[in-house]
A and B are shown apart, each in its own frame.
Chain A
Amino acid sequence: MKTPLIDIRRLTRDYAGGGLFARPSLTRALDDLTMTVEAGTIHGIVGESGCGKSTLARILMALDRPTSGDVILDGASLFDLSPKELMRKRRDFQMVFQDPFGSLDPRQRVARIVAEPLHVLDEKPSRAARRERVMAMLEAVGLNAAQAERYPHEFSGGQRQRIAIARALITEPKLVVADEAVSALDLSVQAQVLNLITRLKRERGVTFLFITHNLAVVDAVADQVGVMYRGRLVESGPARAVFERPLHPYTRVLADAEPSVTKFGRPPARPAPPAAALAAPLTHGPPGQGCAFLPRCPLAGPRCAAEAPVLRQVLPGRQTACHHAEQMLCAPA
């Protein structure tokens, strides 16, 4: 097996909560998260809001540091780098943000916005060379050179997201982290941007970490997918297989809850968590005790309250953190 582009090792991030009047508390945004992303793939991350997706993105972009754990990018630990080395490394990873209206400086022209990441290059390109690269990049994302001198407010949401993607790609990074990059877009524009991302992967070999709460979007573009719940990775595997036959009850809950143009009317009632499992005292004690999904899980049994499930391989290439994953295998799809 070749070495992965990103190797995320036991990443944990705690945020100190509480405040002046509330008792101090810790929010564990990421909880012992381990995963790898292969070069040249689109790797989807799905999960509910607050499950730690953006925290993961920020740490991968070295905008935030983990409480513990490590990220190995292309063979080097991201957090052992000196500021200077980190600066140089930044050309290899870039980010596209959720809100295409907030992520572009309204006071700068498109050409300048797109050129922004270039300043980390060792050899700063000349004015002319910079301009050439910007134009080539704009064309690659389907905008034209004449638009380079315009301001962001003159563009629609989809066009702005293309500008943001052009900015992320200008240093020819190996990795682009896209945090909810199409969530704010209308359907007809969303498909245009998704096609662009697929094309960039195919033609330029860019690796995408594609974060979203929308399963259909991940299903449409991702090769691999990781499902997060409360800061943990609960399932991972090839996107198609995961959505066709989930191995974690939470993935199933997510898939069932997602509305679709082919599902009319009220969905069939979902099985409720068994009363016996819920009756077990739900200690929100130190993380690591019991399964975090227990209160919502229809498959829960006594073991789930006592012991936190760890990620394990259930089928070739398929991992899940659930004691009863084998039951999911027999359950009707």
Chain B
Amino acid sequence: MTAPASSTPLPTARRKSPGLRLATRPNLVIGGALVAFLLGIALVSLVWTPLPPTKMQIALKLKAPLEKGLFGTDHLGRDVASMLMAGAWNSLSIAVSAVALGAAVGTALGVTVAAKRGLFEAVAMRANDVIFAFPPILSAMMLGALMGTGRGTAIIAIATFMVPVFARVTAGAASQVWARDFILAARSAGKGVTRITIEHVLPNIANQIIVQVAIQLGLAILTEAGLSFLGLGMAPPAPTWGRMLADSQTYLGTAPWLALMPGLAIALTVFGFNMLGDGLRDLLDPREKGRT
């Protein structure tokens, strides 16, 4: 399967300074900036928001943007800008925890499948398919029935459907690594499966995992919004983008900004993570990396 290997080191002119790399990678720059901005907002919301996001001022309800606060107020007179900021924290923290959990379990499963093959592989991948067949909303409803709604439920529900995604990506990538000669070299040096997985397989698939994490974060944000839209996310009054959307439905005609603002926030976040994922994929592409 090996292509004839070129013994010439590739031209040095390919090696670019990191700065140059960034300039020629708009995806990475835009995605990175968006994500950094959102992360900043989310963190700031922990210590400061223009108004307390749960403070109701019924007298000032349904004010248009700039009339009261930057983005107006909702039907209970809460400040939309403050809610968005607090919502950013809630959404991001759930998404990040869920993806971290899903990636950890999925990766562990995937590399084990690649190392074990045989029956274990067959069973694990079949189980994967079954889980994957359930929409996250459904599993969240089932989980919600079992353990009540809230942050934990949302995280576990989203993580559950992240597991098969990561398992599949890492199993594929890891199998390819296992087929390489340097693994044979490690085996002939007497190393065991676990050690080879940690020392050789994981470092060689780290890129694919990182890219997948960025992409799945976007998806997790979307799912979290869906869950809280359906009332399956964090319990009120904690503001989330999904519930803001749900609450805005009645006022679509009179106060469209109530739907527009959280909608935009979700779209921007998903877009940001996807761009970041694309950009990272380019940046970490081994075909680019292997060149001197």
Contacts and interface: CB of A to CB of B under 8 A. Distances in A.
Given A106-B204, A154-B292, A186 B184 contact: no
Given A95-B185, A95-B188, A116-B189, A106 B7 contact: no
Given A61-B188, A106-B286, A117-B189, A98 B7 contact: no
B181 A97 contact: yes
A204 interface: no
Given A101-B5, A105-B200, A153-B292, A120 B182 contact: no
Contact of B8 (A104, A113, A156): A156
Interface of B: 2, 4-9, 180-182, 184-191, 200, 203-204, 286, 289-292
Contacts of A157: 5-7
A97 B188 CA distance: 11
Nearest to B204: A107
A69 to B, nearest CB: 20
Counting contact residues on chain A (CB < 8 A from B), the size range is: 35 or more
Contacts of A94: 188-189
Given A106-B286, A119-B191, 8 more contacts: A94-B188, A98-B2, A103-B181, A103-B182, A103-B185, A106-B289, A116-B185, A167-B185
B10 to A, nearest CB: 9
A128 B7 CA distance: 33
B176 to A, nearest CB: 11
9 nearest A-B residue pairs (beta carbon): A157-B7, A103-B181, A107-B203, A117-B189, A102-B181, A90-B190, A101-B5, A97-B181, A105-B182
Contacts of B291: 153
A237 interface: no
A95 B181 CA distance: 11
Given A107-B203, A107-B204, A184 B185 contact: no
A120 B189 CA distance: 7
B204 to A, nearest CB: 5
14 contacts: A62-B188, A63-B187, A94-B188, A94-B189, A97-B185, A100-B5, A103-B184, A105-B182, A108-B200, A119-B191, A153-B290, A153-B292, A167-B185, A189-B7
